[in-house]
Chains A and B, each alone.
Chain A
Amino acid sequence: MAQPLLQVRDLRIEIPTRKKVLTAIDGVSFDVADGEILGVVGESGAGKSLTGAAIIGLLDPPLRIAGGEIILEGQRIDNLSYARMRRIRGKKIGAIFQDPLTSLNPLFTVGRQLVETILTHVDITPTKARERAIELLREVGIPAAERRVDSYPHQFSGGMRQRVVIALALCANPRLIIADEPTTALDVSIQAQILALLKRLTREHGTAVMLVTHDMGVIAETANRVAVMYAGRIAEIGPVREVVKHPRHPYTRGLMGAIPAMGHDVEQLNQIDGSMPRLDSIPPGCAFNPRCPHAFERCYRDQPVLLDAGPTRAACWLYDKEMVEAVNG
């Protein structure tokens, strides 16, 4: 089995506050293989954006990585200096954020921003860089690219701007793209276009994508595998089809049941009572135990690790083989 492109091992992110130190991400581990699209889904406060920010090295202090490792292409990147991380960012890891308006500098033309990024990471002449920029704009579907390359960001519509951001992320040919809610601010019809574009381009360039979003529908359509996060931990991880259609973890089950879908004629949606715990009040053991219909004593004591649950892995003591065997026979 080839070495995964990205390996995250036991990542811990802490926030020192006035009163005490809080753990925002607690022991998160996952891999991203070459060319695959991994979805990271969760509700607000689950920590999915923080994970992406940590990988790309954009954690704002006082947030800090307090433990674990992030390994890209066999090399540790979580402990690099700012200067060295800057070289990796853009060249090996690209980023797409939610708001295309703030991702692009309103003062410079689109072409200039693309050329600047290309020249930073690739050793070619400015003329060639500009050609490449125009070619990229064409690839992402901007009509009349030779003219639009000299337009300013505000002269594009939202969907077009997001295409430019994708071009910017791809211009130095990174191996991995972190996309944080890339289509959330867009209309549903544009969303479809952008996701199709992302899938096609990453397939053609062989780029892997870590797609962070709250929208399960986007994940179902776009990702190969998905990690469901809850209160700073991974609740379940596995192939998309399995997690979406046959969720194992009680939280994932509750989540899928809460999503309205067409053709589902139910009077009431399946609701999970309560809400995700705040960082200062995460219960001991499994973070989901106050809301879980299947919680038993071990859930209140020990924090679960990812256990094999068939085709997926779920951080839930219900899937502890020894325990299951003990109960059954």
Chain B
Amino acid sequence: MAERARSDRPGAGTPSAAADMPLVRVTDLARYFDVSKPWLNRVLEREPRQVLRAVDGVSFDIPRGKTFSLVGESGCGKSTVARTVVGLYRPTKGQVFFEGREISRFDSRQEMRPYRSRIQMIFQDPYASLNPRWRVKDIIAEPIRAEGKLSGKAVDARVGALLKQVKLSPSDGMKYPHEFSGGQRQRISIARALASEAEFLVCDEPTSALDVSVQAQILNLMKDLQRQLSLTYLFISHNLAVVYHVSDWVGVMYLGRLVEWAEKRTLFRYPRHPYTRMLLDTIPDIDMTGRERAPVAGEVPNPINPPSGCPFHPRCPHANDRCKAELPRSLPTPEGAHVACHAVEEGRLPAEKRDYAVPKMGA
């Protein structure tokens, strides 16, 4: 694995940068939003304050150089986790640790500075993530200029090198974003993230808005870059097949909580949590094994008024009274997974193995 010279980076080389410690650790992360109506309306309509608990107690580790994916349906809070980890939101509760140091509660931009450039984000919408009035070379150069180490021609050279690294041409720097397709814009976003020499990239559904063949190109590129530059990814997606392809570790979220997280193969082949199993059963059967998708009960409830106890209990075939009253804790399993489920804890839910069809392409 290529090692980059990081001895000149602030915060590096400290005892906490040991190889066995996870690069990123999230503990009991919570982020609430106040979605109450304006004060006057509340008084007139006699409504209470309403708080949206988008993320409510999420903990996981991301090892250096690996990809951790968060997967789930709408309202599960995975995007909020991404934005809180990267620093766009301040957590309501809990901490985010980077190389052993808590980075989620800095009071000023000065304190965050040593870490700011090392953690970057790739956004979902390729059309809104680049300023339409700026040339591409200025967009990519902005983090370099903000760091202040290079200037003039050196900056241009670095921008050209970054464009080549994402398989675009250096002359593309003179163009404006609207002259590029969605896939190319994502490449530019990736180049911008790399420009600040980020080690940890949070990717919020980076390929969801792209065509399938373009998605393949971008995912391949991301994997290549990970290998070349020892990058660590937090990958958010709703697409389980993409998650299977890119991840080393996978976490499943439901209504603001992490119901299960494990190494990829463990999660996909031996899913423990009833929601994980349900999710895996509802994926379209592209391999045409003839598997009928299991009819699923209900829809994801409104996150503003989540059910009591375990949030999944209204849709869960194994729910009992304890599930309705008590929130399950996240407990380790023998296979190295973490599952938050009473039925699993009580041994009511036997392990199951899932098989997936072998490659489908004929002669």
Chain A interface (Cβ < 8 Å from any Cβ of B): 43-44, 157, 159-160, 187-193, 195-196, 214-218, 220-221, 240-241, 244-247, 253-264, 266-273, 275-276
Contacts and interface: CB of A to CB of B under 8 A. Distances in A.
Interface in B253-288: 268, 278-280, 282-288
B293 interface: yes
Interface stretch (B27-35, B46-54, B295-303): B295-303
A254 B213 CA distance: 8
Contacts of A275: 181, 183, 213-214
Given A44-B211, A245-B288, A268-B223, A256 B216 contact: no
A264 B213 contact: no
Given A260-B244, A269-B220, A246 B283 contact: no
A220 B286 contact: yes
Contacts of A214: 211-212
Q: How large is the interface on B (under 10, 10 to 19, 20 to 34, 35 or more residues)?
A: 35 or more
Q: Is the interface of B mostly helix, strand, loop or mixed?
A: loop
A253 B361 contact: yes
Contacts of B223: 267-268
A253 B359 CA distance: 13
A255 B216 CA distance: 9
Contact of A221 (B211, B213, B284): B284
A272 B357 contact: no
A131 B242 CA distance: 45
6 tightest A-B CB contacts, nearest first: A263-B356, A217-B284, A258-B216, A260-B245, A246-B362, A43-B211
A244 to B, nearest CB: 6
Interface of B: 73-74, 181, 183, 211-217, 219-220, 223, 238, 240-242, 244-245, 268, 278-280, 282-288, 293-296, 299-300, 355-363
Contacts of B359: 264
Q: Tell me which of A43, A190, A261 has the highest count of chain B C-beta atoms within 10 A of its own C-beta.
A: A261
Given A187-B74, A196-B293, A196-B295, A271 B216 contact: yes
Given A190-B299, A215-B284, A221-B285, A255 B245 contact: no
Contact of A244 (B181, B215, B279, B288): B288
Given A220-B288, A275-B214, A188 B279 contact: yes
Given A188-B73, A192-B296, A43 B220 contact: no
Given A192-B293, A196-B295, A255 B212 contact: yes
A261 B293 contact: no
B19 to A, nearest CB: 24
Nearest to B280: A262
Contacts of A256: 360-361
A241 B183 CA distance: 30
A261 B243 CA distance: 9
B293 A262 contact: no
Contacts of A246: 361-363
Contacts of A245: 288, 360-362
Contact of A189 (B216, B244, B282): B282
A39 B26 CA distance: 44
A85 B245 CA distance: 47
Contact of A220 (B268, B285, B295, B296): B285
20 contacts: A188-B240, A189-B278, A192-B296, A220-B286, A240-B288, A244-B286, A244-B288, A247-B361, A253-B361, A258-B213, A258-B215, A259-B286, A261-B241, A261-B286, A261-B287, A263-B244, A263-B268, A269-B245, A271-B217, A273-B217
A188 B216 CA distance: 20
A193 B295 contact: yes
Given A189-B300, A217-B286, A263-B357, 7 more contacts: A160-B299, A189-B73, A189-B296, A192-B295, A220-B285, A221-B284, A244-B360
Contacts of B241: 217, 259-262
B216 A270 contact: yes
B213 A272 contact: yes
A189 B299 CA distance: 8
A257 B361 contact: yes
B300 A187 contact: yes
B233 to A, nearest CB: 15
A263 B223 CA distance: 18
Contacts of A44: 211
Contact of A217 (B74, B278, B279, B285): B285
Contacts of A273: 217
B300 A220 contact: no
B212 A43 contact: yes
Contacts of A188: 73, 238, 240, 279, 282-284
Contacts of B282: 188-189, 191-192
A259 to B, nearest CB: 6
Nearest to A188: B282
A44 B209 CA distance: 10
Nearest to B219: A269
